[in-house]
């Protein structure tokens, strides 16, 4: 299908992109890898009059480390994240999650910033962002601000990004290999029906703290606070995971009813914790 007509702009710098965004306001959309935006444009669910392509803005892509923090540029592709030696060593959970996205074609085009900014409730990366305690760098005309993953995801396809802001980088504190991502992919789309990302901090072979985040089963990714508390208090995988659905109001839909979803949350949480603990 053909998208409605639009005008294409290639941004040459972050500043240029911000200028174009200010100029075209709500008529414009930022284009990164295009793998969420173009499908909805082809279906004419989205009909932006202007596309601002940030794909060739230099400095927006790449992976580096400074002072125990991994910095990932917004236009870094999923495939580069998944195969980065630095990420494999210092944020192995992120490498694993990025490797679960779609198929090689998708991973070669889609970007980390695009996925996070899009905030699809079934996307994989948002769970990793929360489990890793990532911080989003949002840049507007007046400069940059830092927003934690917990604050960033607001609702279905809604984030803390202002309409004239660009997501420019993602910062992740270096973490250990005590982590796992367990995903149940939808057989049609490949997106997560449920995805549970677990990042444990251990000392002396024991869990000292845990971050557990879930994607797929609600309007936005969420931390499973009761599970985290149980793990920090020394619970094993089964008893911690038993709390995975506590306090969450699941809804019935085509993917299953609420009790099935609560069950998926518990089962996949258990599997992810068990593997992270191995």
Partner 1 sequence: MATAAPMIGASIKRKEDGRFITGRGKYTDDINLAGQVHAAFVRSPYGSAKVNGIDASAALAMPGVHAVYTGADLKAAGVNPIPPGWLHAGIQIGDRYPMAVGTARFVGEPVAVVVADSAALARDAADAIVVDYDELPAVTDGPTALSAGAPQVHANATGNVAFNWQLGDADGTDAAIKGAKTVVRQHLINQRLIPNAIEPRACVAHHDSANDELTLYVTSQNPHVHRLIMGAFVLGIPEQRFRVVAPDVGGGFGSKIFIYPEEVVACWVSKAIGKPVKWTATRSESFLSDSHGRVHDTDVEMAFDGNGRIVGLRVNTVANVGAYFTLFAPAVPTYLYGTLLSGQYDIPVIHVKVTAVYTNTVPVDAYRGAGRPEATYALERTLDVAAGQLGVDPAELRRRNFIAPTKFPYQTAVALQYDSGNYEPALDRALTMVNYAQLRKDQAAARAQGRYIGIGLSAYIEACGLAPSHVVGSLGAQAGLYESGTIRVHPTGKVTVLTGSHSHGQGHETTFSQIVAHELGCSVDDVDVVHGDTSKIPFGMGTYGSRSGAVGGSALFLSLQKVKEKGRLIAAHQLEAAAADVDFADGKYFVKGSPSRSKSFGDVALAAYLAHNIPSDMEPGLDSTTFFNPGNFVYPFGTHVAVVEVDADTGHVTVQRYVAVDDFGNVINPMIVDGQLHGGIAQGVAQALWEGGVYDSNGQLLTGSMMNYALPKAEFLPMFETDRTVTPSPVNPLGVKGAGEAGTIASTAAAANAVIDALSPFGITHLDMPLTPATIWGAIQQAKGGK
Binding residues for partner 1, per CB under 8 A?
A: 1-2, 4-5, 43-44, 184, 186-189, 254-257, 259-260, 263-264, 267
Stretch binding ligand FAD (CB under 6 A), from 102-110, 146-154, 219-227, 233-241: 102-110
Q: Which residues pair with 104 in a beta bridge?
A: none
Residue whose C-alpha is closest to residue 58's, from 81, 33, 76, 80: 76
Question: Using CB under 6 A, which of 106, 160, 229, 248 touches ligand FAD?
Answer: 106
x-or-dash pattern for ligand FAD, window 156-195, by CB under 6 A? -----x----xx----------------------xx----
Question: Using CB under 6 A, which of 11, 18, 125, 179 touches ligand FAD?
Answer: 125
Q: Is the dihedral of CA 278, 176, 83, 79 positive or negative?
A: positive
CA distances from 117 to 147, 166, 192, 199, 277 (A): 12, 9, 17, 22, 31
Regarding 73 and contact with ligand FAD (CB under 6 A), the answer is no
Stretch binding ligand FAD (CB under 6 A), from 79-87, 123-131, 222-230, 256-264: 123-131
Residue 189 buriedness (CB in 10 A; 0-12 / 13-18 / 19+): exposed
CB contact burial 39-64 (16+ within 10 A = b; e otherwise): ebbeeeebebebbbbbbebeebbebe
The site for ligand FAD (CB under 6 A) is made up of 29-37, 39, 54, 74, 101-102, 106, 110-111, 113-115, 117-118, 120, 123-125, 161, 166-167, 190-191
């Amino acid at each position: 299908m053909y998208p409605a007509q639009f005008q294409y702009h290639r941004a040459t710098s972050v500043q240029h992109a911000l200028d174009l965004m200010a100029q075209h306001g709500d008529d414009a959309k930022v284009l990164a890898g295009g793998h969420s935006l173009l499908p909805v444009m082809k279906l004419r669910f989205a009909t932006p009059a202007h596309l601002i392509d940030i794909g060739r803005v230099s400095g927006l892509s790449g992976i580096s480390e400074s002072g125990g923090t991994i910095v990932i540029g917004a236009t870094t592709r999923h495939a580069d994240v998944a195969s980065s030696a630095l990420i494999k060593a210092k944020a192995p959970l992120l490498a694993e999650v990025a490797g679960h996205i779609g198929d090689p074609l998708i991973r070669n085009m889609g970007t980390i910033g695009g996925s996070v900014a899009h905030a699809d409730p079934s996307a994989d990366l948002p769970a990793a962002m929360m489990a890793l305690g990532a911080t989003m760098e949002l840049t507007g005309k007046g400069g940059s601000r830092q927003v934690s993953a917990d604050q960033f995801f607001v609702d279905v396809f809604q984030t803390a990004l202002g309409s004239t802001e660009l997501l420019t980088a993602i910062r992740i504190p270096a973490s250990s290999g005590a982590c796992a991502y367990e995903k149940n992919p939808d057989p049609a789309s490949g997106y997560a029906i449920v995805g549970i990302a677990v990042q444990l901090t251990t000392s002396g072979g024991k869990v000292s703290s845990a971050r557990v985040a879930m994607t797929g089963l609600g309007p936005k990714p969420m931390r499973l606070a009761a599970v985290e508390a149980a793990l920090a208090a020394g619970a094993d995988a089964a008893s911690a995971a038993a709390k995975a659905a506590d306090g969450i109001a699941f809804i019935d839909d085509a993917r299953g009813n609420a009790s099935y979803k609560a069950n998926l949350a518990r089962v996949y949480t258990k599997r992810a914790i068990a593997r992270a603990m191995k």
